[in-house]
Homo-oligomer: A and B are copies of this chain.
């Protein structure tokens, strides 16, 4: 099946790129501002297609809704336990990590993900203020 170039798809890509690790819902809200007849299903479908086509990447985290990222190279993420926001981690990617475990388990290891959790700078300040 060849994929088409629709108005909706373009706006969704634009907003997914403009926002910072948005969830599908956040993309929906942004697209809604400029194209109010958009439906959530269209946003979900296009985010899926766009990541299959490699225009964005689909970030699945161990908690909460999936997010989308304009940075398509492999890298790690950190999630704030307080506000839930997600940031890129500036740490080199462990390209050799898979090989270290393959033999021990008999798995064909295809990839890995590292997710850090912690308290982001903004939430640290809010917490300090609160007490």
Binding site for B on A (CB under 8 A): 60-63, 78, 80-81, 87, 89-91, 97-98, 100-102, 104-121, 124
Whether the Cβ atoms of B106 and A116 lie closer than 8 Å is no
B residues within 8 A CB of A124? 106, 108
Whether the Cβ atoms of B112 and A101 lie closer than 8 Å is no
Smallest CB–CB gap between A97 and chain B, Å?
Answer: 8
Please name 24 pairs of A and B residues whose Cβ atoms are closer than 8 Å in the assembled complex, sorted by A.
A60-B62, A61-B62, A62-B113, A62-B115, A78-B101, A81-B110, A87-B105, A89-B101, A90-B101, A90-B105, A91-B101, A98-B116, A105-B121, A106-B121, A107-B119, A108-B124, A111-B116, A111-B117, A111-B118, A112-B115, A113-B115, A113-B117, A114-B114, A115-B115
Whether the Cβ atoms of B110 and A119 lie closer than 8 Å is yes
The dominant DSSP class at the A interface is mixed
Whether the Cβ atoms of A78 and B60 lie closer than 8 Å is no
Using CB atoms, name the residue of chain B closest to A127: B108
Smallest CB–CB gap between A63 and chain B, Å?
Answer: 5
